[in-house]
Chain A
Amino acid sequence: MKIYDAIIIGGGHNGLVTAGYLQRAGLETVVVEKNPWVGGAATSRELTPGFLYSNCSYVCSLFRPEIMRDLELPKHGLQIISYEGGAVFTRDGDYLASYRDHDAHRREFARYSARDAESYERYARDVTRQCRFIQPLLMRTAPDPFSCKPRDIGELLYLAKKFGEFSPAEMAATLRFWTMSIADFLDEYFETDVIKAYLALSGIIGTALGPMSPGTAYVLLHHYMGEVDGSVGAWGYARGGMGAVTKALASSFLAAGGVIRTGSEVDKVIVEGGRAVGIALANGDEVRARMVVSNADVKRTFLKLVEPKELPEPFLHRVKHFKMRGSSGKVNIALDSLPEFPALPEGSQCMRGDMHFTDSIERMERAYDDWKAGRWSADPFLDMMIPTTLDPTMAPAGKHFMSCFVQYCPPKVEGRDWTDADRDAFAETVIKQISDYSPGFRDRIIHMEVRTPREIEQEVGLTEGNIFQGELTFDQLLFNRPVPGYAQYRSPIQGLYICGSSTHPGGGVMGAPGRNAAAEILRDLDRSRSHMSAAHDVL
């Protein structure tokens, strides 16, 4: 029987990043994926003829450029295109747009409040200062504060030094920022409801918290840490949908000699003598390797794929209590023509960006109230995009693909499992909301895919449909992600590693967890990491 150097469980973006780096380091690596396609939550699927659906993740910003370069993703077809702003529609028939141009952006805010328009500059500066502190940590393994290893101490000192560069006022601001609610944070800058609602959305996306919950200010930061070609905080589309990211990763991996086995669901990690030695597939096949790396989330990995007897009780306890609550769904729609939004004036570019209908923090919080009660939001928050306004490859000319990220959507409906009727009722809240602002919207729909946490967990394997493989609250970050003492991509089982978004620095199509995991594995094997770029400088 062939013995690989490494098995990667799950062909999501992080798994493929780890695989790419290991294969290029000369390790014979096999990626095992349960679906007949790779991509995990970064896929482009032709669900109706002629239309490519970014049916899970739908926009790109966080994916690390160092990885794109190391793994030669441009050569394998990856292109990211910036999008052109967006809009929140208001109930009084107006909208708040965001523009790439600095002055246009300011004037747009000034339509609502001259003060808020200028406060935005302060707000942007303060958030950028926080980003500049966190950003360099993305591509570094989080230090273990309990370890006496020189590297951990060095990393802790690095953190302390970064923090020490702050003035006392900045330190205070940082601590407040890490713990505040996004609503409170925004109240310190702005007076206009719709401006606050627009800025708050990054604080709640993918998180089972409302804008008034403490900790959501940090979630916002997570969404601001990306870039498109050096333009920090910018978001873009992957040309060809988010599957273009994983397609390029898979192609790069295969070109380096890697092996991908799709349609192969993993049943168990085989542990012999406390050491991971391979996997058993659902079809009864076994694949053997010197190590196993799981891209599945931490709960799926340690509660489903590993026998509990192989794990220390405190570790299991922490894994069980790792917060991974589903809070969102997706409605993906093929449209036979571009919808009209009468609120937008002629020539507006708002449709070439993100669109929303939640025009106050209070509505956002009400939407969260429904989630707490175990229901989907009656008046949901939508992050709606029409990537085909910029990307000609995803739909036939003149026709469009629309992606709606929908929040909040609970993993169980009032404690019971989702039914198809629930799913359809959930979708109706979305279609109704869009139709309120876009007459005739329903008539344009050719095909629609509705994904509640049930569908996301079933197909993608994300526990409870949590898009980040675990919430990005401060109690679950850095050396606490996913489990204190196991934040360095290793597990209690020798030879078993984790590389998904459950690990530092967390979710989003970032690739940093996969890249950092590969670095730790190669360090353990004492192999060269010369093919891995150092994190880009933050000047």
Chain B
Amino acid sequence: MTLDLATRKAAQPHFHTLLLESPFHERLAALDKTNDWYGWAGHKAPHALDDEELEYFAIRSTAAVFDISPMTKYRITGPGAVAFLDRLTVRNVAKLGINRVHYTAWCDDHGHVLDDGTLFRLGESEFRLCCQERHLPWLLDSAEGFAVDIREETGEVAGLALQGPTSYAILKEAGFAGVEALKPFQIGGFAHEGCTVTISRTGFTGDLGYELFVPRALALSLWDRLFEAGKFLGIRAIGYTALNRARIEAGFIVANADFMTAETALRGNRLRLPDEIGLDWMIDLEKPNFNGRRAIMAARAGKTLKHILVGMEIDGNVPPEHALVYHNKRREVGIVTAAIWSPLAKRNIAIASLERPYGERIQDGLWVEIYALRELQYQKLMKRARIVPRPFVTLARRSANPPGLF
């Protein structure tokens, strides 16, 4: 339905601002020293606010605050919400308890992954879906016949990720009584300024951590509450570069970085089934019907899966970002989608997309070709790569119950 004239006219001046500011922008800008912003889903977001190394170590040693407000968020409500989400996504939503979160993915009818994201069950028939890309037409179209209401709420909700060993201590210090009871993937509601802040024990770092959501208007007061409480607990605002390092260590993938989403890929051979990007574990074939089920089953039965996503350790200390992967140094078999030197594992780690049977039946004899640009000269390296399980780093504190103070 076309919006009314008054609403449209009020929105006319949007073109003066190309990147919108997050609800936390005032605080981020005050701390920012680098002026190194990028566009995240149409919002201004920091690559780093200060030194990216130090921001990374805040995640791993104290607590880091990362603004996740630009992340696309949909509110899905109604008596048909469970049935709808069961049809939409590959996991079993009926098994997702109230006040629980699960990581999930959804596919088109060809089984190609449209996106991955987190599904928050906030009530019996109330959900929040968080993801990288926008999917409103897809969600609305697939909701036909279900008693469900779907609304994008990205702009209305402010979100912060508080991640790191002291993250629980900070919440405790901030007076969120009862937060210690939250187990991984559990959600709780806590009082803040006469309203509710939704806190979940989730994150994208593989560390102890929480994600906090409040109505937009309460963003700054929530920020101040956390920073006041974290004053002596090493709280630090960070940008995406530091977060990206942590997520690679945790073995998490990023849509349109480690795989192309089905609605954005122009080239047909870039599309991926869940099994081709390491998401096979989440598919629940017990469910009689969900988007892509038939195609996924056919690909498995016919052994037509073409790709596989693997974790790799690479010899040496030069991260092979976007390097080609070879078998026996000759045959090209894939590409590295993400790679870093892991400070926590003290080794070179990478996520790579390989063409089967390499990475599947053939695990040995893999090499990566690294072009290291050093003072205007490429130093070409051929380094051995070994397939290893993800996550590359497992931290006991991430899942400790009750959570530790640091």
Contacts and interface: CB of A to CB of B under 8 A. Distances in A.
Interface of A: 92-94, 97, 99, 101, 103-104, 106-108, 110-115, 118-119, 121-122, 125, 128-129, 132, 165-167, 169-170, 191-193, 345, 347-349
Interface string B1-30: 111010111011111101110000000000
Nearest to B18: A101
A348 B15 contact: yes
Given A108-B14, A114-B136, A115-B136, A121 B264 contact: yes
Contacts of A122: 137, 263
Contacts of B263: 121-122, 125
A132 B15 contact: no
B305 to A, nearest CB: 16
Given A113-B3, A121-B263, A193-B2, A108 B15 contact: yes
A97 B137 contact: no
A111 B134 contact: no
A345 B12 contact: yes
B5 A170 contact: no
B180 interface: no
A107 to B, nearest CB: 5
Contacts of A92: 5
Nearest to A119: B137
Contact of A115 (B5, B8, B140, B266): B140
B3 A112 contact: yes
B247 interface: no
B136 to A, nearest CB: 5
29 contacts: A93-B5, A93-B9, A94-B5, A94-B9, A101-B18, A103-B18, A103-B20, A103-B39, A103-B42, A104-B18, A107-B14, A107-B42, A108-B15, A110-B11, A111-B14, A112-B3, A112-B8, A113-B1, A113-B2, A114-B136, A121-B263, A121-B264, A122-B137, A125-B263, A166-B268, A167-B268, A169-B110, A192-B2, A349-B15
Contacts of A167: 110, 268
A112 B134 CA distance: 17
A108 B18 CA distance: 11
A170 B269 CA distance: 12
B152 interface: yes
B75 interface: no
Given A103-B18, A107-B15, A191-B1, 20 more contacts: A94-B5, A94-B8, A94-B9, A103-B19, A103-B39, A103-B42, A104-B14, A104-B15, A106-B42, A112-B3, A113-B2, A118-B136, A118-B137, A121-B134, A121-B264, A122-B137, A125-B264, A167-B110, A170-B268, A345-B13
A247 to B, nearest CB: 35
Nearest to A345: B12
Contacts of B383: none
A93 B12 CA distance: 12
Contacts of A128: 266
Contacts of B11: 107, 110-111
Contacts of A125: 263-266
Contacts of B12: 94, 111, 345
A321 to B, nearest CB: 38
A167 B19 CA distance: 37
A108 B16 CA distance: 12
Contacts of A113: 1-3
A106 B110 CA distance: 27
Interface in B19-55: 19-20, 39, 42
Interface string B260-285: 00011110100000000000000000
Contacts of B7: 111
A-B residue pairs, 4 tightest by C-beta? A103-B42, A111-B11, A118-B136, A111-B8
B135 interface: yes
Contacts of A118: 134-137
Contacts of A115: 136-137, 140
Contacts of B13: 345
Given A103-B42, A106-B42, A191 B2 contact: yes
A172 to B, nearest CB: 13
Contacts of B3: 111-113
B152 A99 contact: no
A191 B1 CA distance: 7
A102 to B, nearest CB: 8
A112 B2 contact: yes
Nearest to B134: A118
Nearest to B137: A119
A343 to B, nearest CB: 9
A92 B8 CA distance: 11
A513 B169 CA distance: 72
A99 B8 contact: no
Contacts of A193: 2
A114 to B, nearest CB: 6
Nearest to B11: A111
A132 B263 CA distance: 16
Nearest to A102: B42
Most buried by B among A94, A114, A128, A132: A114
Nearest to A170: B268
A110 B137 CA distance: 12
Interface string B145-179: 00000001000000000000000000000000000
A121 B297 CA distance: 29
A458 B385 CA distance: 72
A345 B5 CA distance: 15
A108 B1 CA distance: 15
Contacts of A191: 1-2
Nearest to A97: B15
Contacts of B134: 118, 121
A99 to B, nearest CB: 6
Interface in B341-363: none
A169 B262 CA distance: 13
A88 to B, nearest CB: 13
Interface string B126-151: 00000000111100100000000000
Interface string B54-82: 00000000000000000000000000000
A277 B135 CA distance: 64
Contacts of A93: 5, 9
A122 B15 CA distance: 22
Contacts of A111: 3, 7-8, 11-12, 14
Contacts of B20: 103
A114 B19 CA distance: 18
Nearest to B14: A107
Contacts of B140: 115
A165 B3 CA distance: 41
A216 B268 CA distance: 25
Nearest to B151: A114
B8 A165 contact: no
A122 B133 CA distance: 12
A84 to B, nearest CB: 11
Most buried by A among B7, B9, B137: B137
Contacts of B19: 103
Contact of B268 (A101, A165, A192, A345): A165
Contacts of A345: 12-13
Contacts of A112: 2-3, 8
A112 B7 CA distance: 9
A383 B20 CA distance: 32
Nearest to A106: B42
A170 B268 CA distance: 9
Contacts of A166: 268
A22 B101 CA distance: 69
Contacts of B264: 121, 125
Contacts of B8: 94, 111-112
A112 B137 CA distance: 15
A120 B42 CA distance: 15
Nearest to B262: A125
A166 B271 CA distance: 12
A94 B2 CA distance: 13
A119 B152 CA distance: 14
A204 B147 CA distance: 41
